[in-house]
């Protein structure tokens, strides 16, 4: 029968939030507490008692030998860190506090262990962030000064070309100018890494950007990769510099293509709206962005994967594992995402492909549906019926307008506040739940006086509401009627 003190100690052992154990000098657990079982991913204590410590627990069996020497010398182990493997194979950094014991159970060791993996990862991220910042400052200074020299070179070459006729000398000067232009492209990528480039941030629809780039890169992917696109419908717009957003997508797709084997491989591009809690994840490359709404863009490949040494350096300027290239593609991605206040994650194992995930800050409010080339301007369609909204947007795009679809009044008002100068006219349904068309019309004129608003309704009696509007269309209407109304309303505005 146990004494009260033994029962208290056993209760403390079982309820301790940190791992506790006793082991033999030969490397077998004698007893373990529940916290250690959970820490190492086992189902119960019996499974853990059956393992061999040097073979099954230590990521590097050689790390145990110095600990045993300490114990045999009757020395206390005070906070030594080793690497243990969980049952699932994950490596954890463990801090051990232990001492030797000798009793009726034989010679052995008793220890308390703490998992400090998250702490060590956070420290490494801080070191990597400081290193990236230092490299960014250096890259920005070099790019700035080099751009000044390139401007002089290109300007001088242009002046010379004006006075040179056909011949060897003109061809040589043209080669100098071409080389200077390519060098300027490299300095642009250095500026992107450093975050020193000027940003023209606006609300950008991710879907059309991806479609455009895939069309442009099609020849480079044909015969090399099967492409899988999975973009969620009605993605929120993102706050981004459109040119830099294109560069990120292009660089990541190119990186995925180059990681594929000589035969065919697969590249997947996925995007969805997510809510980020602001927490730090194991795969984060950049410090976690603030909690909020983001669009997560994932670009995956089933190529060669990334080993740990490459992962540590792959975002450094001029680091590359390829036979060709300058090693600035991923460096530019790192700088652009950092400059936009986004997040960047990498998941990969050697031989198992890689996934790069970018978190872009999303525009607040409900999802906007954006499309069309916009040669004739931009029209926002406000209608709570998704089917009607989609059809109207397609009609407008067919006659040459860029479209912004909003499912309700508040979303439309947010869009005009954020990108109002890019919207040339509004097609507004009168009968919507919540904030009705008349209220939206009044609010739109307060936000942006003079914005042409065309009211739409299935009832002729609603024409009475058009006194404050630029026009009225009775549903349903034809292409010609819509086109004529927009031509009348916009006139010489565009």
Nearest to 129 by CA among 249, 284, 306: 284
Residue 428: its pLDDT value, please? Answer: 92
Residue 1: its pLDDT value, please? Answer: 46
Q: Tokens 């600035």 appear where?
A: 328
Q: Does residue 404 contact residue 371 with C-beta atoms inside 8 Å?
A: no
Residue 365: its pLDDT value, please? Answer: 57
Q: What is the mean pLDDT of the chain?
A: 78
Indicate if the pLDDT at residue 11 is higher than 50: yes
Give all strands of the β-sheet with 265-276 in edge-to-edge order. Answer: 225-231, 265-276, 292-301, 354-361, 343-348
Indicate if the pLDDT at residue 384 is higher than 70: yes
Q: Which CATH architecture has domain 4-115?
A: 2-Layer Sandwich (3.30)
Tell me which of 197-201, 222-226, 268-272 is least confident: 197-201
Indicate if the pLDDT at residue 427 is higher than 50: yes
Q: Does residue 341 contact residue 332 with C-beta atoms inside 8 Å?
A: no
Residue 349: its pLDDT value, please? Answer: 82
Please state, in angstroms and rounded to a whole number, the distance separating the CA atoms of residues 320 and 182: 19
Indicate if the pLDDT at residue 309 is higher than 50: yes
Per-residue pLDDT tens for 178-220?
777 767 666 666 665 555 554 566 777 888 788 777 777 766 6
User: To the nearest whole percent, how much of the chain has pLDDT over 90?
Assistant: 4
Indicate if the pLDDT at residue 22 is higher than 60: yes
Residue 196: its pLDDT value, please? Answer: 52
Q: Are strands 106-115 and 91-103 parallel, antiparallel or unpaired?
A: antiparallel
Task: Please tell me which residue, 478 or 428, carries the higher pLDDT value.
Answer: 428
Q: Give the largest CA-CA distance in the chain.
A: 108
And the tokens for 490?
Answer: 């916009």
Task: Please tell me which residue, 265 or 462, carries the higher pLDDT value.
Answer: 265
Name the CATH superfamily, with its identifier, for domain 369-490. Response regulator (3.40.50.2300)
Mean pLDDT on 32-60: 88
User: To the nearest whole percent, how much of the chain has pLDDT over 70?
Assistant: 77
Confidence of residue 229 (pLDDT cuts 50, 70, 90): confident
Q: Pick from 23-32, 192-201, 371-380 the range whose average pLDDT is largest.
A: 23-32
Task: Please tell me which residue, 14 or 147, carries the higher pLDDT value.
Answer: 14
Q: Does residue 485 contact residue 454 with C-beta atoms inside 8 Å?
A: yes
Confidence of residue 423 (pLDDT cuts 50, 70, 90): confident
Q: Are strands 471-474 and 453-457 parallel, antiparallel or unpaired?
A: parallel
Q: How far lies 398's CA from each of 12, 373, 376, 392, 490, in Å?
A: 73, 10, 11, 10, 17
Task: Please tell me which residue, 435 or 161, carries the higher pLDDT value.
Answer: 435
Per-residue pLDDT tens for 84-93?
888 888 888 8
The topology under which CATH files domain 201-361 is: Heat Shock Protein 90 (3.30.565)
Confidence of residue 265 (pLDDT cuts 50, 70, 90): confident
Per-residue pLDDT tens for 435-470?
888 889 989 988 888 889 999 876 555 555 566 788
Task: Please tell me which residue, 163 or 412, carries the higher pLDDT value.
Answer: 412
Tell me which of 178-187, 225-234, 410-419, 451-460 is least confident: 178-187
Q: Tokens 């997560």 appear where?
A: 296
Mean pLDDT on 268-290: 82
Confidence of residue 18 (pLDDT cuts 50, 70, 90): confident
């Amino acid at each position: 029968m146990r004494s009260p003190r033994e029962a208290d100690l056993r209760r403390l052992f079982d309820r301790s939030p940190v791992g506790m154990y006793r082991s033999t000098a030969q490397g077998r657990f004698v007893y373990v507490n529940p916290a250690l079982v959970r820490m190492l991913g086992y189902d119960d204590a019996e499974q853990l008692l059956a393992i061999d410590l040097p073979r099954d627990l230590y990521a590097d069996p050689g790390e145990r030998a110095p600990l045993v020497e300490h114990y045999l010398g009757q020395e206390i182990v005070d906070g030594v860190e080793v690497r243990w493997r969980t049952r699932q194979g994950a490596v954890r950094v463990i801090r051990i506090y232990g001492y030797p014991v000798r009793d009726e159970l034989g010679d052995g060791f008793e220890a308390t262990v703490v998992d400090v993996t998250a702490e060590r990862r956070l420290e490494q991220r801080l070191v990597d962030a400081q290193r990236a910042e230092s490299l960014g400052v250096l890259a920005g200074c070099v790019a700035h000064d080099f751009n000044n020299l390139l401007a002089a070179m290109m300007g001088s070459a242009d002046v010379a070309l004006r006075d040179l006729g056909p011949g060897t000398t003109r061809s040589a000067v043209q080669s100098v100018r071409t080389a200077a232009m390519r060098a300027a492209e490299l300095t642009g990528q250095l500026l992107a890494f450093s975050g020193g480039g000027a940003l023209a941030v606006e609300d950008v629809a991710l879907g059309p950007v991806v479609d455009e780039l895939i069309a442009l890169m099609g020849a480079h992917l044909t015969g090399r990769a099967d492409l899988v696109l999975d973009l969620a419908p009605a993605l929120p717009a993102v706050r981004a510099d459109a040119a830099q957003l294109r560069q990120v997508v292009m660089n990541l797709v190119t990186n995925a293509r180059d990681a594929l084997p000589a035969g065919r491989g697969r590249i997947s591009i996925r995007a969805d709206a997510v809510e980020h809690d602001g927490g730090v994840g194991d795969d984060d490359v950049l410090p976690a962005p603030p909690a909020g709404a983001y669009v997560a863009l994932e670009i995956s490949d089933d190529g060669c994967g990334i080993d740990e040494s490459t992962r540590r350096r792959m975002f450094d300027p001029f680091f590359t594992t390829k036979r060709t290239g300058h090693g600035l593609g991923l460096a530019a991605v790192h700088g652009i995402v950092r400059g936009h206040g986004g997040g960047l994650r990498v998941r990969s194992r050697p031989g198992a492909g890689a996934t790069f995930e970018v978190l872009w800050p999303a525009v607040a409010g409900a999802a906007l549906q954006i499309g069309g080339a916009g040669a004739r301007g931009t029209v926002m369609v406000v209608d709570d019926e998704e089917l009607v909204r989609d059809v109207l947007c397609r009609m407008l795009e067919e006659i040459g307008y860029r479209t912004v679809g909003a499912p309700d009044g508040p979303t439309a008002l947010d869009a005009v506040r954020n990108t109002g100068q890019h919207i040339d006219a509004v097609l507004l349904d009168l009968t919507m739940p919540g904030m009705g068309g008349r209220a939206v019309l009044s609010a739109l004129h307060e936000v942006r006086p003079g914005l042409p608003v065309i009211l739409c309704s299935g009832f002729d009696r609603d024409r009475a509401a058009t006194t404050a509007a630029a026009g009225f269309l009775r549903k349903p209407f034809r292409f010609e009627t819509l086109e004529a109304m927009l031509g009348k309303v916009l006139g010489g505005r565009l």
